[in-house]
Amino acid sequence: MQGESEQSEHSAQTERTELTQEEVRRAVASAQTVVVKVGSSSLTQPSGHLDVDKLGALVGAIAQVCMLGGNIVLVSSGAIAAGFGPLGFDSRPTDVATQQATASVGQGLLMAQYEMAFGQYGIRVGQLLITAEDTMRPQQYRNARRTMAKLLELGVVPIVNENDALASNEIRFGDNDRLSALIANMVRADALVLLTDVDALYTAPPSEPGSHKITFVPNITAMLDDIRVGGSESGVGTGGMVTKLEAARMAAVSGIPTVLTAAPNAGPALMGDEVGTAFAPVKQRGSARRLWIKFAAHPRGVLVADSGAANAVRGGRASLLAAGVVEARGDFAAGDPVWIDDENGNHLARGLAGYDSEEIPNMLGRNTSQLRRLLGEEYAHPLVHRDNLVLL
| Proportion of the chain in helix, strand, coil states, percent, rounded to 5 | 40, 20, 40
C-beta of residue 66 within 8 angstroms of C-beta of residue 104: no
Statement to judge: residues 110 and 246 lie in one domain: yes
Q: How far is CA 59 from CA 62, 104, 113, 273, in A?
A: 5, 22, 10, 18
Statement to judge: residues 171 and 151 lie in one domain: yes
Q: What is the DSSP letter of 225?
A: G
The predicted structure's pLDDT at residue 33: 97
SS3 329: strand
The predicted structure's pLDDT at residue 289: 67
Q: Which residues are annotated as a binding site for substrate?
A: 77, 164, 176
Statement to judge: residues 74 and 202 lie in one domain: yes
CA–CA gap between residue 195 and residue 203 (Å, rounded): 18
C-beta of residue 386 within 8 angstroms of C-beta of residue 1: yes
Q: How many domains does the chain have?
A: 2
Domain that holds residue 62: 21-294
Domain boundary among 294, 324, 357: 294
The CATH number of whichever domain residue 336 belongs to comes to: 2.30.130.10
CA–CA gap between residue 329 and residue 279 (Å, rounded): 38
Rg (CA), the chain: 23
First-last CA distance in the chain: 15
Q: Which residues are annotated as a binding site?
A: 37, 77, 164, 176, 196-197, 238-244
H or E element: which one contains 160? strand 157-162
How many Cα neighbours within 13 Å face the side chain of 219?
12
In a domain, 14, yes or no: no
pLDDT in tens, the chain (392 residues): 333 333 444 444 444 447 899 999 999 999 999 999 998 889 888 777 788 999 999 999 999 999 999 999 999 988 888 888 788 887 778 888 888 888 889 899 999 999 999 999 999 999 999 877 777 777 888 899 999 999 999 999 999 998 866 655 544 565 688 889 889 988 999 999 999 988 999 887 777 888 889 999 998 877 765 566 554 444 444 446 888 888 898 899 889 999 999 999 999 999 999 999 999 998 776 666 666 677 766 788 999 999 999 999 888 778 999 999 999 999 998 888 899 999 999 999 988 899 999 999 999 999 999 999 999 999 999 999 888 888 87
Please give the backbone phi and psi of residue 174, each rounded to the nearest 5 degrees, phi first.
Answer: 85, -25
Statement to judge: residues 287 and 347 lie in one domain: no
Q: What is the DSSP letter of 47?
A: T
In a domain, 6, yes or no: no
Q: What is the DSSP letter of 226?
A: G
CA–CA gap between residue 331 and residue 188 (Å, rounded): 32
The predicted structure's pLDDT at residue 234: 44
Reference 130, options 167, 175, 86, 93; nearest CA is 167
Q: Which residues are annotated as a binding site for ATP?
A: 37, 196-197, 238-244
CA–CA gap between residue 1 and residue 184 (Å, rounded): 27
The CATH number of whichever domain residue 127 belongs to comes to: 3.40.1160.10
Domain boundary among 246, 264, 294: 294
In a domain, 1, yes or no: no
Statement to judge: residues 261 and 168 lie in one domain: yes
Statement to judge: residues 61 and 147 lie in one domain: yes
Statement to judge: residues 304 and 287 lie in one domain: no
CA–CA gap between residue 80 and residue 163 (Å, rounded): 11
The predicted structure's pLDDT at residue 12: 41
Burial class (CB in 10 A: 0-12, 13-18, 19+), 315: exposed
Domain boundary among 294, 321, 349: 294
Statement to judge: residues 190 and 256 lie in one domain: yes
Reference 179, options 89, 272, 79; nearest CA is 79
Statement to judge: residues 308 and 355 lie in one domain: yes
CA–CA gap between residue 131 and residue 297 (Å, rounded): 13
Statement to judge: residues 102 and 124 lie in one domain: yes
SS3 20: coil
